[in-house]
Structure 1
Amino acid sequence: MSTYTERLPFTGSPEYDKHFWNAMRGHDSSYDKLTKGLSAGTGLYTMPNTSDNKYMAALEKESLFRTIGTVIKAYGSGYRIFAKDSSDLAQWVAENEAIPIYDGLEDFTISTVNSWKLAALVKMDDAFIRDVSFNLENHLINRFARNFGRAEDNAFINGNGNEMPTGILNATGGAEVAATIEAISYDRVIDLYFSVKPEYRKNAVWLMNDKTALILRTLKDSAGNYLWRDSDDTILGKKVIFSEFMPDAETGSKPIAFGDFSYYWVIGRRPIGVRTLSEKFAALDQLGYLAYEFLDGKLIRPETVKVIQMNTKTNG
């Protein structure tokens, strides 16, 4: 799901697009035509709408959580907003009877959403930039998408909420711990599956890294049946998704998560901003590009995703 707010109107004009990419090719005079897109706080310039659309499409391919989570754009909501998620339920009402009002404060999860800054810096040789046949737009978009996508997923998993999003593994605001175990076993994985409520199991997936997946691939029940289904990489009918940012099954770690990750909200606070850094890398005949994202990420209902935590003994 994605929710959009109105963008800056001038960033959609052909003139802004032309001057922006001229500036990215090192034509400093073009910056004079981009003043409306300048962020006074960062010194960066808002990417044109068409380029931003391409960037968001590329970022979605690189960022796992932008696929399994819920992406929201809240560009015009001030520095902080409140995310509310309720457990409201449809109810049968007899003819001519009053409709019950479901408005108790205890029915809402309220989270403060911040605007954290994520920075990326890439460099390019001047020879490429000056070559008019070189597609600078696509190159920068894909490089920034790759860099930001990896950093986002790491934070959405391991972030501590201090100047960064709160990850699913964080002790505060992260997924609930279903059990603390000494070793990963067939029965413990089954327990994790059933620790998630049926309404959240409907769209649930497993999340782990390659090493943990290798452990699970060897697990069998008492009849010798494998837990893992190789034909479609599922466990108990639910897809397994891999991330290098999930920890190994070591002491104190949380190597397996299971649940409905659509309750993890990825909240964009501003469009991506970019500017060139010409003097810093001039001696190397290179041009630098600095970009910022402003976003937050939160699991708005912790019970929707459960994890197991390793105790003192782990699998070899």
Structure 2
Amino acid sequence: MTEQMRVAPEVKAVPDTVTAAFEDFMEAFEAFKDVNDKRLGEIEEKLSADVVTRDKMDRINRAVDDNKKSLDQLLLKKARPALGSGRDVGPEAAEHKAAFDAYIRRGDEQGLRELEAKAFSGSAGADGGYLVPPETDNEIGRRVSVVSPMRALSTVRMVSGAVLKKPFAAAGLATGWVSETAARPQTDTPQLSELTFPTMELYAMPAATQALLDDAAVDIEAWIAGEVDVVFAEQEGDAFVRGDGVNKPKGFLSYPTIAEEDWAWGSLGHVATGVAGAFKAANPSDTLVDVIYALKAKHRQNATFMMNRRTQAEVRKFKDADGNYLWRPPASAGQAASLIGFPVAEAEEMPDIAANATAIAFGDFRSGYLVVDRAGVRILRDPYSAKPYVLFYTTKRVGGGVQNFEAIKVVKFSAN
């Protein structure tokens, strides 16, 4: 095989199909492995890699990332079926859908007001607005989960109030073994604490022309869902990872971290790489193995690595003692890549590798992180503020935070 055939440094045009995108991604990864093997051979022979090889390595690494990004975008589009296309709905749902359509297209509130009065509902908030039909609400939530890895991996609870309060016993429940007829000794009184997860308001304001709204062929519900899903997902994803808890959910990286050997409830345990801002030169993958086994077995079996694309490009170069790559591409389109046998979730909100950065997380996020959704997405129609456009002030309330501090560990790029 010639060098020209083995290496495809240029990123191809975005493919038209998921299959073609996946094939391009796998081709780029094979080229990456060839050039990385050559780079490692040069380091072993001359103690440093050739500049041309390093440049080619970086170029192909970027090509792998770009092809994966193209594949992800195609999968996202594929996950967006049209709403309301030929599906049977009950009479109440059909009535709500028709009333909502009249409100969005013409600003006619009468139908929605009558439905609220009939249901004794307080759907209109202090600022006005109405809840979208449940079908649209569910579709927005489903699409957001496709885009946001944290929402997809975490536990999601639906609440009707503004705050979810969750009691817990940090020391666990008192238990013991007894015989069938023996007295049951009284256990110690559990020391309960409380975690609170307030919901915060997230908004988007898509705009439409009146001509678009007047066009009967346009599926208004699908248009609204398509306009807000990505922006909601981007805002949520950022907050779930690094939000400070002020008017937004508290991200898991905003909690204090402590060296794993000194870990205590209320903080996340970290495993240091031993070098500030980098992996150690010899056996860099040892740090990844250490963070895997810092997690208890009950959480480890459901654990996932989380990092951004740039960090993933770095760990993609690691090999085991037998020369096998530790990072493996997905087996098929739509599946996750794996690292040392565990799935990898790409979250661009994760920090880059830098001194003291916690650029890699590993954990059972379903046990460790809780997303709290307040039921309902509300829309307020505004035809006045940006004439001739009609604005749709779309809001939802969402909160989040760590619910189990032993279920998530992080890699800290520091000396200790």
Taking structure 1 as the reference length, what is the TM-score of the superposition? Answer: 0.83
1:267 to 2:347 alignment: no
Q: Judging changes above 3 Å, is the alpha-carbon distance between structure 1 residues 146 and 97 closer, same or farther for their aligned structure 2 residues?
A: farther
Q: Deviations over 1:58-93 (max 9, x none)?
A: 232232222211111011x4x333123454598665
Aligned residue runs from structure 1 range 71-82, under 5 A? 71-75=156-160, 77=161, 79-82=162-165
The one-letter code of the counterpart of 2:405 is P
- Name 1:255's counterpart in structure 2: 359
1:147 to 2:231 alignment: yes
Q: Judging changes above 3 Å, is the alpha-carbon distance between structure 1 residues 202 and 89 closer, same or farther for their aligned structure 2 residues?
A: farther
Select the structure with the greater relative contact order (CA < 8 A; seq sep ≥ 6).
1
Q: Paired residue for 1:294, among 379, 392, 397?
A: 397
What CA distance in whole angstroms lies between the structure 1 residues aligned with 2:391 and 2:267?
Answer: 36
Give the alignment's Cα RMSD to 1 decimal. Answer: 2.8
Q: Paired residue for 2:384, among 279, 293, 316?
A: 279
Secondary structure in 2 matching 1:303? coil
Q: Deviations over 1:255-309 (max 9, x none)?
A: 1000100021111123111111111122xx3211111111111110112110112
Q: Judging changes above 3 Å, is the alpha-carbon distance between structure 1 residues 103 and 72 closer, same or farther for their aligned structure 2 residues?
A: farther
Following TM superposition, by how much is the alpha carbon of 1:224 offset from its aligned partner in structure 2, in angstroms? 3.4
Q: Paired residue for 2:305, among 206, 212, 216?
A: 206
What CA distance in whole angstroms lies between the structure 2 residues aligned with 1:238 and 1:199?
Answer: 14
Following TM superposition, by how much is the alpha carbon of 1:212 offset from its aligned partner in structure 2, in angstroms? 0.4
Aligned residue runs from structure 1 range 1-316, under 5 A? 13-30=93-110, 32-33=113-114, 36-75=121-160, 77=161, 79-85=162-168, 87-88=172-173, 94-97=179-182, 104-106=189-191, 110-172=194-256, 175-179=268-272, 181-182=274-275, 183-184=278-279, 185-230=284-329, 232=331, 233-263=337-367, 264-282=369-387, 285-311=388-414
Percent of aligned positions that are identical: 26
Unaligned runs of 5+ in 2: 1-91, 257-265, 332-336
- Structure exhibiting the larger radius of gyration computed from Cα positions: 2
Decide which structure has greater strand share: 1
Decide which structure has greater helix share: 2
- Name 1:7's counterpart in structure 2: none
Identify the range of structure 1 (208-217 vs 12-21) with the bigger mean alpha-carbon deviation.
12-21
Aligned residues: 298
What CA distance in whole angstroms lies between the structure 2 residues aligned with 1:180 and 1:146?
Answer: 34
The one-letter code of the counterpart of 1:271 is G
